[in-house]
A = this chain, B = another copy of it.
């Protein structure tokens, strides 16, 4: 039996970009299957009294994050282009990702969205940008209709509630059994845990 890991990410999250681009390869190399779970950080932050990203609320932390991200992308050969606005509205992208999951394309679609946003600086609240992401990940443009279905909307809300119930407070996060790991820096540790646990 193979190990399993659950990957929690928010479409506006800068550090989620790093994990989105590498979790598939790292997990496959260890024989671990990945459950991709988009959720919304907005309600998580609101519960902490924040009305925007902590990277905007705390400017020194924000300046550092952008430089840190730029350095890591350079070291990993990932393209990087800081978008004009941050955080972007990732609601439609998250709903589309759940619709893409129904067609077994969530990984490809999610990578396309993060590359557009942080690799090219595109605005992922723009439906034309998302249509490009659907196209490159082999999905039909009509998936937008499915993304607006009440079932998808409530699934995303439920996934966000589940994240909060798991103790998740930021993204990316990874869960393996009862263990929570936060941040791209913990991806290897999370995968090691998942590999050691036979489910």
Contact = CB atoms under 8 A, between A and B. Distances in A.
Given A64-B169, A75-B189, 15 more contacts: A58-B169, A60-B168, A60-B169, A61-B170, A64-B167, A64-B180, A64-B182, A67-B180, A68-B181, A68-B182, A68-B186, A71-B179, A71-B189, A183-B185, A185-B185
Interface string A60-84: 1101100110010001000000000
Interface of A: 48, 58, 60-61, 63-64, 67-68, 71, 75, 167-170, 179-183, 185-186, 189
Contacts of A60: 167-169
Contacts of A189: 71, 75
A58 B58 CA distance: 15
A67 B75 CA distance: 29
A128 to B, nearest CB: 37
A61 B50 CA distance: 14
